[in-house]
Structure 1
């Protein structure tokens, strides 16, 4: 059994930028934001001011924090091991992230997951996911 932990304080610091300031502020409050295009209506990840689909303007919206595993792998040679996964969010976009607070052997494609914020070395919230179901709220 490979137990994957949250590893607070062990994540690299994301680069600070004016474009990500609203995301970081909301994350510090426990809220997860996405950008949605005001022209075509598509949500996307990684957040950016212009839509990657139609180049329209985008606006922040609060996301559910729910998703499903699209693809997952365990980096077993790291100590302690980590997981890297593509998670398809309930709002549509797929994001590269980590799955934490789980037994890596039980993770499966299509499995529901829920957002949890880890902390980077400088305390910036980093979006990760854990299996949905019983346990601490995200």
Structure 2
């Protein structure tokens, strides 16, 4: 192959690797923020059940209705949101791993392209 073709392959592979590394960095930053939010949310979760509705604080039909509504509307929704955050963290982790595998493959190709470029340059010099 010609020197120009090999240089083009090297350059495009280097560009791809750079773009993929940027993607990984953004995903890692996003995952870190989500993990921080997940921790904050998990620590705050207990506050949705406060005050506890006991015989000493509030009891009866209205207390039971309020407690059931609080559970259905607030606690369950919060748990759903917390689960979604966890799933998003897992998805980001899988995407990071997948992208890293692609980068590793591209590094292998880049090495092969550089060897090919060196050989093409040597052949050009011999002419």
The normalised TM-score by structure 1 is 0.17
Larger % of strand: which?
A: 1
Higher relative contact order (CA 8 A, sep 6+): 2
Larger % of helix: which?
A: 2
The normalised TM-score by structure 2 is 0.18
